[in-house]
């Protein structure tokens, strides 16, 4: 993000309304490589192509906030790789991390990884270190430390169904697992901040929060996610959960979140009402059926209707619900921007 974009983001989060509604998107490997015309494997394995794809996006859409911006990642293999997960990379399919916990008892021998040395994490940091001069030459800075959330990582380490069953049958072991992952994530975010002093934001993505009820969220999610947000003094505390967030939404401000990217389960007015407008919302055009599959005219119409129905345009960044999905065209992004003028 540029200095101007960053300052505007902070102003929107603070509730200032002197500007028109900005446009922003979470962009990463599901959208960016194929939009640029390369495979996912090229994107993950070539620092040069990764940089060119990100530079192409900011050049094509200079008025869009791309969040977190220049995201160095390896899809869902990113954090599980540090725990020793076997990572499967296809040429142009999303990568996959195999389980490392085959039964709850395996948690007893699990150790906390070192993000400075373990898995793919050193490669992620080194990519940013090597490309930082080019990123800054383009007028941008590295603004966010980034990770999946603790429940999301746990679901890859042991399987989502197995995790939720163990919450009921082996709660003490799941708390042990969450403590290990939380300690690891605090170290990982701190390492990113130490490496790049311009970081003043934190992004965590955890869709598993949307697969459990409120009681389980408050037991196994809320305290650990809040601990990670509380460990940083970053101005922007960004959370993504585009699974069903209705059972947990009202707790997000108290969890430390001030910027939220939801799914389509609730409208923006409903989200603002449920949280007393304490969250800035990044949303909420339907991502697949409208932004990816719709025509430019349909995107314009959906955007215009959403904006016309808003009771309050403060604390809003116009976007799609969830991250940018595969297949979104340049024309549809421009159509959304035009409808906002």
DSSP classification of residue 22: P
CA 118, 119, 122, 125: dihedral to nearest 10 degrees?
-130
pLDDT at position 137: 98
Closest CA relative to residue 284, chosen from 249, 248, 322, 258: 322
Q: Round to whole Å and give the CA distance between 335 and 320.
A: 13
Confidence category of residue 171, pLDDT binned at 50, 70, 90: very high
- Phi/psi of residue 230, each to 5°? -65, -20
Classify 119 in phi/psi space as left (phi over 0), alpha (psi -120 to 50) or beta.
Answer: left
Domain locations along the chain: 3-339
Other C-beta atoms within 10 Å of 331: how many?
A: 10
Q: What is the pLDDT of residues 23-34, one digit of tens each?
A: 999 999 999 999
297/68 Cα distance (integer angstroms): 28
Please state whether beta strands 280-285 and 64-67 pair in parallel, antiparallel, or not at all (unpaired): unpaired
**Residues 38, 9: Cα–Cα separation, whole Å:** 30
193 — pLDDT class (breaks 50, 70, 90): very high
Confidence of residue 17 (pLDDT cuts 50, 70, 90): confident
Q: What is the mean pLDDT of the chain?
A: 97
pLDDT at 20: 85
The three-state (H, E, C) secondary structure of 147-204, written as one string: EECHHHHHHHHHCHHHHHHHHHHCHHHHHHHHHHHHHHHHHHHHHHHHHCCCCCEEEE
Q: Using the predicted structure, report yes or no on whether residue 19 has a pLDDT greater than 90.
A: no
pLDDT tens-digit series, residues 297-322:
999 999 999 999 999 999 999 999 99
pLDDT at residue 341 in the model: 81
- Per-residue pLDDT at 319: 98
Domain 3-339 CATH class label = alpha beta
CA–CA distances in Å: residue 71 to residues 11, 43, 46, 155: 23, 11, 14, 22
Q: Find the angle CA(148)-CA(159)-CA(30) to the nearest 5 degrees.
A: 45
For residues 323 and 31, the answer to whether their CB atoms sit within 8 Å is yes
């Amino acid at each position: 993000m540029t200095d101007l974009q960053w300052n505007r983001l902070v102003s929107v989060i603070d509730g200032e309304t002197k500007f028109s509604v900005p446009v922003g998107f979470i962009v990463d490997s599901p959208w960016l490589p194929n939009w640029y015309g390369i495979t996912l494997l090229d994107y993950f394995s070539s620092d040069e192509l990764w940089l060119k794809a990100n530079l192409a996006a900011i050049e094509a859409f200079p008025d869009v906030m791309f969040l977190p911006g220049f995201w160095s990642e390896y899809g869902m293999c990113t954090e599980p790789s540090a725990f020793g997960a076997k990572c499967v990379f296809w040429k142009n399919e999303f990568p996959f991390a195999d389980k490392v916990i085959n039964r709850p008892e395996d948690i007893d021998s699990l150790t906390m990884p070192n993000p400075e040395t373990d898995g793919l994490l050193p490669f992620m940091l080194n990519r940013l270190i090597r490309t930082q001069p080019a990123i800054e030459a383009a007028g941008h800075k590295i603004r966010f430390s980034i990770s999946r959330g603790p429940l999301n990582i746990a679901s890859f380490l042991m399987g989502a169904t197995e995790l939720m069953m163990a919450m009921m049958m082996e709660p003490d072991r799941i708390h042990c697992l969450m403590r290990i992952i939380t300690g690891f994530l605090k170290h990982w975010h701190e390492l990113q901040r130490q490496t790049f002093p311009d970081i003043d934001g934190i992004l965590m993505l955890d869709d598993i929060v949307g697969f459990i009820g409120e009681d389980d969220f408050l037991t196994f999610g809320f305290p650990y996610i809040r601990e990670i947000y509380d460990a940083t003094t970053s101005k922007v505390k960004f959370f993504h959960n585009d699974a069903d967030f209705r059972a947990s939404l009202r707790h997000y401000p108290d969890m430390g979140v001030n910027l939220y990217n939801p799914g389509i389960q609730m409208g923006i007015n409903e989200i603002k009402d449920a949280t007393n407008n304490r969250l800035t919302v990044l949303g909420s055009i339907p991502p697949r059926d409208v932004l990816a599959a719709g025509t430019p005219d349909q995107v314009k119409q959906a955007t215009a209707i959403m904006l016309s129905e808003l009771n309050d345009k403060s604390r809003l960044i116009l976007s799609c619900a969830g991250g940018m999905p595969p297949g979104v065209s340049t024309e549809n992004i421009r159509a959304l921007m035009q409808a906002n003028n």
